[in-house]
Amino acid sequence: MSGKQELIDKLTGIKSSRKSYYSELNAIVEEMKKKNKQLEVINRLTQIHVDKSWEEVSSYLAAQLSQILSFDRFVLTLLDHSDLLFYISEPEAAGWSCRFVKRRMVTKTAMSIEEFKKLLKKEIPDHHGTSVCLQYQAGNIYGFLTLLNREKVEYPREELELYRRMGEHVRISIENILLFKDVSEKVHIEAQLIQSAKMAALGEMAAGIAHELNSPLTAILGNVQLLMRDMKDGRPGKMLEDIYQCGLRSKKIIQNLLTFSRQEEYQLETMHLSGLIDDVLGLVGYQLAVSGISIQKEIDPTLPAVRGSRNQIEQVLINLFLNARDAVQGKSNPEVIIGTCLVDLEDRQFVSIYVRDNGVGIEEDNVSQIFNPFFTTKESMKGTGLGLSVSLGIAESHGGKLLVDSRVNEYTQFSLLLPIQENEGGESYE
């Protein structure tokens, strides 16, 4: 009998009488379940995908941590030069949702955990925070993880230690994401440089041809005008009028080519979009029309003016038109619509210029890739895969966005959103 008890003790690690045996075993099983849960969560914390947005990272961390620690809200804070970026996650019926707040530190680019705690008290006064810092091996702090509670909570030492260890694991995932974003940005800049070189070469060529054509065309127009004066009536007069109108149209196309290829610094100007759209149509409309594509305009004439680089916005629209032309090829009733409207997004107002085609559409799996440099589904001689990545860069440098909506074999719509008012957003801290 005593041998059996000894064996049980060895197997379970429980030194007890038969009476309390089950309750102790239960306690140990519970403890093991808890430890297993912690290991599972730690494992999941290291599996955050590098291309996730910071909002997604914050709500994911909140969802994971809430399985082993209790808190009301969770904040992922990142230091970005002199900006503090707060990603605040709150529980909702469908899971954790995150909102973003940006604050500027006027005199600093670094921050200690004590300074951060003070700032957090000011920022979220009705909550108590428990923070750990995210810090590189070299020691520089680049962010904080914070559990927020409405009531003051004294976490037991064991839980605080667990939270600190979690911080270590999260740190590795976050550094991977930072590295990924850094590399993606470099690839993007490189692609922009290549595209600018390509556009510059194209521009130079176009300018050369336009100059060559300009002089004979001026002579043609001048002579036709002289002939028209002599033959006012009858058939020849009508034919000359046609020649004259076609000549004028050619002149407008040449003018557009010259404007487009002008090698100048990009200058910001205030402009009305309807004029700009007419110029772009003058440049590419003919190409589309000869391919049998019908072009429709849905321009809202009451839209306010926007500020930006005319050349760059023209470049985006040309890219979108050329993509639309390729997409509708082979369709029975090819159509491209260009339109403008006002859009409210994320508490801001934008003017939207959209280009919509009834072409092949974009496969769902490809939608997330089309803005990546060098992503193309076209033959190697036809597409470089740079058009959209460069266009996105231009949209963002204007404080705007480039959005896509598509359904395979039905339609594709790209919307270039340009801000109406520059919203600085956020207070500053000393």
Q: How far is the CB of 395 from ligand ATP (least distance, A)?
A: 13
Q: CA-CA distances (angstroms) from residue 299 to 120, 303, 400?
A: 47, 9, 19
Closest CA to 320 of 339, 348, 299: 339
**Are the C-beta atoms of 142 and 114 separated by less than 8 Å?**
no
Residue 91 binds which of Mg ion, ligand ATP, none (CB < 5-8 A, kind-dependent): none
Q: Is 375 near ligand ATP (CB under 6 A)?
A: yes
Q: CA-CA distances (angstroms) from residue 375 to 46, 110, 180, 322, 385?
A: 29, 38, 18, 16, 5
Q: How many helices (H) and strands (E) does the chain have?
A: 10, 13
Give the residue, chosen from 133, 199, 340, 357, that forms a contact with ligand ATP under the rule CB under 6 A: 357
For residue 277, give the amino acid letter. Answer: I
d(CA 356, CA 425) in angstroms, rounded, equals 32
Q: How far is the CB of 360 from ligand ATP (least distance, A)?
A: 5
d(CA 342, CA 284) in angstroms, rounded, equals 25
Question: 133 or 293, CB closer to ligand ATP?
Answer: 293
Residue 57 binds which of ligand ATP, Mg ion, none (CB < 5-8 A, kind-dependent): none
Q: How far is the CB of 325 from Mg ion (least distance, A)?
A: 10
Per CB under 5 A, which of residues 336..395 are in contact with Mg ion? 387
- Residue nearest to Mg ion as judged by C-beta position: 387
Question: 15 or 297, CB closer to ligand ATP?
Answer: 297
Question: 170 or 324, CB closer to ligand ATP?
Answer: 324
Residue 392 binds which of Mg ion, ligand ATP, none (CB < 5-8 A, kind-dependent): none
d(CA 217, CA 220) in angstroms, rounded, equals 5
Q: How far is the CB of 324 from ligand ATP (least distance, A)?
A: 5
d(CA 402, CA 418) in angstroms, rounded, equals 9
**Are the C-beta atoms of 387 and 192 separated by less than 8 Å?**
no
Contact flags string 310-329 toward ligand ATP, x per CB under 6 A: ---------x---xx--x--
Q: Is 82 near ligand ATP (CB under 6 A)?
A: no
Interacting span for ligand ATP (CB under 6 A) from 34-42, 83-91, 148-156, 356-364 = 356-364
**Are the C-beta atoms of 10 and 135 separated by less than 8 Å?**
no
The backbone region for 195, taken as left when phi is positive above 0, alpha when psi lies in -120 to 50, beta otherwise, is alpha
Q: Is 323 near Mg ion (CB under 5 A)?
A: yes
Per CB under 6 A, which of residues 329..348 are in contact with ligand ATP? none
Q: CA-CA distances (angstroms) from residue 287 to 87, 200, 264, 323?
A: 47, 21, 26, 13
Q: How far is the CB of 331 from ligand ATP (least distance, A)?
A: 11
Q: Is 191 near ligand ATP (CB under 6 A)?
A: no
Point out which residues pair with 353 in neighbouring strands.
340, 416
**Are the C-beta atoms of 103 and 83 separated by less than 8 Å?**
yes
Residue 339 binds which of ligand ATP, Mg ion, none (CB < 5-8 A, kind-dependent): none
Q: How far is the CB of 310 from Mg ion (least distance, A)?
A: 20
Interacting span for ligand ATP (CB under 6 A) from 95-103, 214-222, 288-296, 377-385 = 377-385
Beta-carbon contacts of residue 343 (< 8 Å; ≥ 6 apart): 349, 350, 351, 352, 415, 417
Q: How far is the CB of 366 from Mg ion (least distance, A)?
A: 13
Per CB under 6 A, which of residues 379..408 are in contact with ligand ATP? 383-389
Closest CA to 38 of 174, 171, 169: 169
Residue 16 binds which of Mg ion, ligand ATP, none (CB < 5-8 A, kind-dependent): none
Beta-carbon contacts of residue 7 (< 8 Å; ≥ 6 apart): none
- DSSP-derived 3-state class of residue 151: coil
Question: 334 or 387, CB closer to Mg ion?
Answer: 387
Interacting span for ligand ATP (CB under 6 A) from 85-93, 168-176, 247-255, 371-379 = 371-379
- Residue nearest to ligand ATP as judged by C-beta position: 387
Residue 429 binds which of ligand ATP, Mg ion, none (CB < 5-8 A, kind-dependent): none
d(CA 195, CA 197) in angstroms, rounded, equals 5
For residue 267, give the amino acid letter. Answer: Q
Question: 50 or 193, CB closer to Mg ion?
Answer: 193
Which positions touch Mg ion (CB under 5 A)?
Answer: 323, 387
Which positions touch ligand ATP (CB under 6 A)?
Answer: 319, 323-324, 327, 357, 359-362, 370, 375-378, 383-389, 412
